[in-house]
Amino acid sequence: MMFEHPPLWLILGAFLAALGPLVFIHEYGHYIVGRWFGIGAETFSIGFGREIAGWTDKRGTRWKVGWLPLGGYVRFTGDMDPASMGRGLDRLPPEVRARSFHAKPVWQRALVVLAGPAANFLLAILIFAGFIAAFGAPRTPAVVSNVMANTPAAAIGLRPGDRILAINGEEVRYFNQLSDYARLRPGEDVILRFERTGQNLEARTRLMDVMEEDRFGNRFRIGRLGVAPGDVRFEQVGVLQLVPEAVKITASTVENTAVGLWQIISGRRPIEELGGPIKMAQVAGQVASIGPFEFVQLIAFFSINLGFINLLPVPMLDGGHLALYAVEAVRRRPLGERAQEWLFRGGLAALMTLMLVATFNDLGSVGLWQTLGRLLG
């Protein structure tokens, strides 16, 4: 049953059902690779804050659930501060130091850190592979079936039967590649290369800048060329092609996420489009009300976003740690503690600012600021 406005219980339930497993898989990636390298783990936590449930396994790792379900962490042996800088390593007993995270070679530490985002990407790949096995891979040819009036496509004279070959130099084989490219670039100039009766032609145009609204009232700014495809096609692929096809979808999603983020940073998209946990919960509830297949697919996209965000080169995130390990590998010694401390303080300040902006936008998306404006006005 689909709700026009999903109830609060569905929003919260869908949010926890999506985020909880993704956080666990991310942190388990760190944990299991750490174990392979002989690193001890003191704590494996899903959520932050006070423990509401937990147990200690035979290896001495405390597995627990915190009351604030907005992330998680693994505290390895030797992690004595939140920034994981390895202070006080020399004060540990030799047998404990040997199992500590910071006593390991830099390449092992880098793999442990990289394993978290990699686990998120792997989950998405497996989900997409399952969908492809069940329904087939999208194979709608990039052939124009209909040209809408008063659109960029009509302005440059596209006709039914034209085959789109490339847009801004990027090869186009299937129609979803064309629509995905245009959707992310409202109002941008593009060069279109297409084939008509065996002849290659080229034209320059500007994509439409359109504001769309979905069934739940969410508004999206998208680009549009103004062409429609023929019948949507899905083709079955061999077992050996399932993972490569799923990797392509995952890689395309990562690329689109990077493009969208860069557009916000560069000012080509308004910062109001940046969402946080509240928006994530709202979307989870809405998609869950549509159906289970759509919800599982959303989990795959959430997983990709979680992996991508954690790879950003910002101190406090996995990508920030990887950047510091790269510097350490080149210098053959880590940055000084003071330099690392200032970097992590800056990273924390940036993340807190980002979270405040995202929360402000989220509250606006659920109508809080509009409601307050009416009450005060």
DSSP state of 335: P
* Dihedral sign for Cα atoms in the order 264, 270, 273, 274: positive
Instruction: Show the CA angle centred on residue 272, arms to residues 269 and 277, nearest 5°.
Output: 120
Q: Are 281 and 15 in contact (CB under 8 A)?
A: yes
Distances (CA, A) of 239 to 61, 129, 342: 39, 9, 50
Tell me 92's DSSP state: S
Q: What CA–CA distance (Å, rounded) separates 280 from 275?
A: 7
170 is catalytic: no
Q: Nearest-CA neighbor of 21 among 74, 72, 75, 55? A: 72
The residue type at 268: R
How far is residue 179's CA from residue 174's CA, in Å, rounded to a whole number? Answer: 9
Token pair 């379900």 in the structure block, residue:
69
Nearest-angstrom CA–CA distance, 79 and 324: 16
Which of the following is catalytic: 4, 27, 273, 341?
27
> What are the b/e assignments for 338-369, b being 16+ CB within 10 Å?
eebbebbeebeebbeeeeeebebbbbebeeee
- Separation of alpha carbons 253 and 305, rounded Å: 9
Residue 56 structure tokens: 């200690």
Neighbours of 203 (CB within 10 A): 15
The alpha carbon of 83 is separated from its chain's Cα centroid by a whole number of angstroms, namely: 23
Our CA dihedral for 276, 279, 285, 286, rounded to 10 degrees, sits at -140
Angle between helical axes of 106-135 and 8-36 (0-180°, round to 10): 130
Residues taking part in catalysis: 27
